[in-house]
Amino acid sequence: MREAPILKADRLSRHFPVRNAFGIRTGAVRALDGVSFEVAPGETLGIVGESGCGKSTLGKALVGIHPLSGGAIVFEGEEISRLSGRERRAVAPRLQYCHQDPGNSLDPRWTVRRSLEEPLIVHTELEAAERVIRIRDLLRQVGLPQTHLDLYPHELSGGQQRRVGLARILALHPRLVVLDEPTSGLDMSVQATVLKLFGELRQAFALTYLFISHDLSVVRMMCDRVAVMYLGRIVEIAPTETLFRAPQHPYTQSLLAAIPDIGGRRVTDTFTLEGEPPDPARLPSGCRFRTRCPRAVAACAETDPALRPLRPDHAAACLLAG
């Protein structure tokens, strides 16, 4: 019997109002527009797409940073999208968000020690001596020496700031962590070390990851399944190797064709991604990718395709897919 999902998103939407110079609302940007998916316990689900496709908005909506305009989020069997602020704080320790910029997520006036102690004070009833032990254990688990406890964020490298951010998250024993561009701004050697740490922590703490990234090579290495987003919607979702071997949506094919390749030939090398995405406040009729699609036909301007199953565990939102 298939295990129940730890997280289920059902038709999530998040619309940001567009106003003119007089403050009058003239439209809305549909950052999320009917996003649905499930995440199994222990899985790493990758979310990929161009800048502005809604990846980060999705991650922030899941943890309550952005309130939803519509839809529902079910986490560990409980619908959390309509909880009050107090009720949502009770869920926060189990559902954590790792910020894209780890330096900005740390208070510049606080030492590493205080940054790690703060969630323990707010969310646990540990005594001061117990908090000291927990903090030292957390620092060891993310591979930092105890001497870093009295340093400030500006005294740490980008990789060290990322590790402190992870330690803060792990302090509360989360079940699911949203990783928003977790390797952004890191050089290749530090990136490899941090990715290895993610894998080790996943095993040690039985974590489930939502892995948001624009780096497809990293996503292929880290994720069990991948969801591809375009202008606020998921246009394809499949197991990682299936998606990279046999992408069905023209947008996915274009993204994969853009991956640098030394030698060899890709199955997607005939697809190129041209032009810029449409204005999200003025979406085209029908399929929102049709203005950039090399395979678009007349029907694409009339029908807005829904995500539909093509085969087990593989779905795409394209009239021509399959």
pLDDT value at position 260? Answer: 64
Which H/E stretch holds residue 176?
strand 176-180
Mean pLDDT over residues 65-69, rounded?
A: 93
CB 313 within 8 A of CB 238: yes
Q: Give the containing element (helix H, strand E) for 29.
A: strand 25-39
Q: Cα(278)–Cα(283) distance, rounded to whole angstroms?
A: 6
The three-state secondary structure class of 299 is helix
Q: Are 72 and 81 within 8 A, CB to CB? A: yes
Is pLDDT of 119 > 80? yes
The model's confidence at residue 272, banded by pLDDT at 50, 70 and 90, is low
pTM above 0.95, yes or no: no
Which position has the higher pLDDT, 277 or 140?
140
**Residue 267 predicted with pLDDT over 50:** no
Decide: 175 and 94 in contact? Cβ < 8 Å. yes
pLDDT (tens digit per residue) in 73-114: 999 999 999 888 888 888 989 999 998 887 778 899 999 999
CA distance 252 to 48: 9
d(CA 250, CA 227): 14
C-beta of residue 291 within 8 angstroms of C-beta of residue 307: no
User: Residue 132 contacts by C-beta under 8 Å, 6 or more apart in sequence?
Assistant: none
Please state, for a pLDDT cut of 90, what percent of the chain lies above it.
Answer: 60
CA distances from 144 to 28, 29, 122, 138 (A): 45, 42, 24, 9
Find where tokens 């927990």 sit: 134
Which tokens sit at 116?
């790690």
Lowest mean pLDDT among 59-68, 143-152, 164-173, 178-187: 178-187
- What would the pLDDT profile of 296-317 be if each residue is shown by its tens digit? 899 999 999 999 999 989 999 9
Query: What pairing do the DSSP bridges indicate for beta strands 25-39 and 78-79?
Result: unpaired
Q: What is the pLDDT of residues 141-177, one digit of tens each?
A: 898 999 999 999 999 988 899 899 889 988 889 999 9
Domain boundaries, the chain: 249-322
The pLDDT of residue 263: 53
Partner residues linked to 33 by β-bridges: 13
pLDDT per position as a tens digit, 207-263: 999 999 988 999 999 999 999 999 999 999 999 999 999 999 999 999 998 776 655
**pLDDT band for position 271 (50/70/90)?**
low
- Structural tokens at position 188: 């290749």
Strand partners, 315: 237, 309
Structure tokens at 217: 């090579």
**Pairwise CA distance, residues 269 & 179, whole Å:** 30
Residue located via tokens 């591809």: 228
What type of residue sits at position 139?
L
Q: Calculate ∠ Cα 24-27-29, nearest 5°.
A: 125
Q: Please tell me whether residue 236 adopts helix, strand or coil conformation.
A: strand
The backbone region for 42, taken as left when phi is positive above 0, alpha when psi lies in -120 to 50, beta otherwise, is: left
Instruction: Give φ, ψ of 305 to 5 degrees.
Output: -70, 135
Is 187 a residue whose pLDDT tops 80? Answer: no
Taking residues 170-186, report their average pLDDT. Answer: 89
Calpha distance 301→193 (Å, rounded): 46
Can you tell me the mean pLDDT for 172-186? Answer: 89
